[in-house]
Amino acid sequence: MLGVRTIKFKTLLLSIFVTTLFSCGKDSDPDPIIVITDDDTVPVGFLGELDFVKTFGGSDEDDAVSIVQANDGAYVILGSTKSTDGDLAGRTGNDSDYWLLKLSETGEKLWSKTYGGSDSDVATSIVNTSDGGYILTGYSESSDGDITINAGFQDYWVVKVDASGTMQWQKSFGFPGQDQAYKVLETSEGNYFVSGYFDIGACDPDPDILCPGNDLQGGGQTTRNARGARHGVGEYWGILMDANGTKIWRRYFGGSNNDRSYDAAQTNDGGFLITGASESFDFDITDDKGTYDFWAVRLSASGEKLWTKSFGGSEIDIGYALTKTQDGNYIMVGDTRSMDGDVSMNNGNADAWVVKFDDNGAILWEKSFGGSEFDSARGIRQMANGSFVISGSSRSANGDLSSNNGQNDIWIFIIDANGNMTYQTSIGGANLDLGNDAIYTFNDEIVAIGNTESNDGDISTNRGTKDLVVIKIY
């Protein structure tokens, strides 16, 4: 059930407040309260009604991490699978592969493709490309099947496919340690940029042999031999590729502890903004606030560091997703356990934290959302009217949330351009249900994806350990 919630939208017929009741979903009870006002914080076409919740997968672990809308209006979902039955019948091996799934607007499966080798291959991000296809990324431990090379343990793995999911090319980037890509994007010049993190500590004892090349270093710095001078166990790592996946440049940034990038965007001047979380307090980190902070690194088009900025308080603050705003600024979302520093309030264990900042890294506003339990934001997308749809998960049933079905629910909420919540809903069952991403469609609908371990409540079917879940709200 969606539960009780308030939705604001603009009407041409009413200029005063009118309260009405109607069904919020096929089986909702009680009916939701809808407040119609002369306010356009949620588009006219969006009513907040649940259209469907569908699961896909097999008897093993299946997950959805990223979604785009195809040119024909269908939904293309990227995730990972370990299943060999159900929707994955015919797939061999019990390792993890990338899983690409295309659904119609009514949630019917149109086609399904997997990519990978005989070891673990985990997908993290998909974007549309200008030729009508898609580019995917994640990380791989394989050196066979669809993967031609592995430098050791996990490598960035980038896969370009056409509109039907047929692989056009694939590229691996990495060194001996843990190298995980979390975001890939097509640039305005027709190149591709991929970001994530790598472990420079794995380059010891001889970095010039194990991780050769001065272009590995951040900001064009020359190779440094002492591990302490070369930073720590996790570094933001950005790689610019041409249209065929050939490396143009690569740069890393960080400090002596864990620094992990989860998102990136191209800036209006052709440079890049890389975001995530940092545990460090030295080298490229100059303004740390606490244990972990949201951390942003601004680069020029050639990969030179322009500035870095930390956001957070004295506790753990992890930034997961980023979007550019219509006014030329940026919003980063994640979760915070802090209630000091840049964090003005905290509702409980952890809140979803939303920070808007300008192109110089100055905070414009910040807001916390959640209840008394653990709440997190994992995705943010701009809507046509200037609002934002945010996806994540929640354990709370109070504060900004009206219900909880058990353990973690998938949590979807909308904020306006000033950071005010205008809509929220929790969807799930008695077990773990996690939201990873959501889009606002051409037809004023929200389609959210993630994974579920439930088979009750809002989740009618579960095929195994964990299923890929798709939720549509109109």
**What CATH code is carried by the domain that includes residue 197?**
2.120.10
Phi-psi category of residue 270: left, alpha or beta, with phi > 0 → left and psi -120 to 50 → alpha: left
**Residues with Cβ within 8 Å of residue 468, at least 6 apart in sequence:** 55, 56, 57, 62, 63, 64, 77, 79, 81, 99, 101, 449, 450, 451
Residue 12: inside a domain, yes or no? no
Contacts by 20-25, CB closer than 8 A, 24 or more apart? 23/49, 24/48, 24/49, 24/50, 25/1, 25/49, 25/50
Q: What is the pTM of this model?
A: 0.88
- Please state whether beta strands 293-299 and 272-278 pair in parallel, antiparallel, or not at all (unpaired): antiparallel
Does residue 377 contact residue 353 with C-beta atoms inside 8 Å?
A: yes
Residue 123: inside a domain, yes or no? yes
d(CA 440, CA 187): 22
Residue 197: inside a domain, yes or no? yes
The tokens of 381 are what? 């997308």
Calculate the CA 5 to chain-centre distance.
25
DSSP state, 142? Answer: -
Residue 471: inside a domain, yes or no? no
Split into its structural domains, the chain has a count of 1
Does residue 40 contact residue 9 with C-beta atoms inside 8 Å?
A: yes
Does residue 137 contact residue 122 with C-beta atoms inside 8 Å?
A: no
Residue 402: inside a domain, yes or no? no
Distances in whole angstroms, Cα of residue 388 to Cα of each of 103, 391, 423: 23, 10, 10
Residue 61: inside a domain, yes or no? no
Three-class SS of residue 230?
A: helix
Does residue 117 contact residue 147 with C-beta atoms inside 8 Å?
A: yes
Residue 111 belongs to domain spanning: 68-396
Residue 222: inside a domain, yes or no? yes
* pLDDT one digit per residue (tens) for the chain, 474 residues: 333 333 333 322 223 233 333 333 333 333 333 333 344 455 457 899 999 999 999 999 999 999 999 999 999 999 999 999 999 999 998 899 999 999 999 999 999 999 999 999 999 999 999 999 999 999 999 999 999 999 989 999 999 999 999 999 999 999 999 999 999 999 999 999 999 999 877 876 665 556 655 344 443 333 333 334 556 678 999 999 999 999 999 999 999 999 999 999 999 999 999 999 999 999 999 999 999 999 999 999 999 999 999 999 999 999 999 999 999 999 999 999 999 999 999 999 999 999 999 999 999 999 999 999 999 999 999 998 999 999 999 999 999 999 999 999 999 999 999 999 999 999 999 999 999 999 999 999 999 999 999 999 999 999 989 999 999 999
Does residue 427 contact residue 412 with C-beta atoms inside 8 Å?
A: yes
Say if residue 74 is exposed, middle or buried (CB neighbours under 10 Å; 0-12, 13-18, 19+). Answer: middle
Residue 453: inside a domain, yes or no? no
Three-class SS of residue 440?
A: strand
**Residues with Cβ within 8 Å of residue 141, at least 6 apart in sequence:** 119, 120, 121, 150, 153, 154, 155
Does residue 149 contact residue 156 with C-beta atoms inside 8 Å?
A: no
The tokens of 61 are what? 């672990």
